Chain A
């Protein structure tokens, strides 16, 4: 069955370190997204991609970057981790051929920045 996976599921890092969160989907979806979820803020869009080599900034993109070298993967990089980036991160994908844009979410990565 097609799925979307994230790794690691839990990560503890130190301020200033570079961190990369992996997202891999086997739906063959063109669209992929990264969100962060914090108490009281719901889900906020960080970056999104409509296809290979396409990336776009979302609502809260400062301090984050993504690259899309193939259809299946959209890694999220924190260039220099900050305590404010402690959060739960969700990756999602959707089929651009479907007008209604239903998104399929991964299980999430809980990141703690000390």
Chain B
């Protein structure tokens, strides 16, 4: 199981770029890195996924260095509606040991 480590919480002002870094030192060759977002009283939802280098979609960017031992989720110009918990997930060895951890609670401040 590729264990992930990410900050428990972060605060940011509206309009700023937010970067959340996740460490996954024992990531396996075939693993993908996936980030989910969870709003209060809702289920998590997929926001972005990558294998290496950089991936960008309409919501976020994901930066993965060559050694893949970490990844950084970048949220451009956050708004109050981006206040949520963000989970970094790396799948290893099937679903039995999938864990989302406690994620990073992002609080956007007006």
Chain B's closest residue to A110 (CB) is B41
Number of interface residues of B (CB under 8 A): 21
Binding site secondary structure of chain B = loop
Bin the interface of chain A by size: 20 to 34
- Give the residues in chain B near A114, CB-CB below 8 Å: none
A104 to B32, CA, bound (A): 17
- Is the Cβ of A101 less than 8 Å from the Cβ of B99? no
- Give the residues in chain B near A57, CB-CB below 8 Å: 96
- Is the Cβ of A43 less than 8 Å from the Cβ of B96? no
Residues of A within 8 A of B (CB): 31, 33, 35, 40-45, 48, 56-59, 90, 92, 99-108
Q: Top 9 closest A-B pairs, CB basis?
A: A105-B43, A43-B100, A42-B102, A102-B46, A42-B101, A42-B100, A90-B43, A48-B95, A100-B32
8 more contacts with CB within 8 A, not counting A103-B36, A108-B41, are: A33-B98, A42-B102, A43-B44, A44-B99, A92-B43, A102-B49, A107-B43, A108-B42
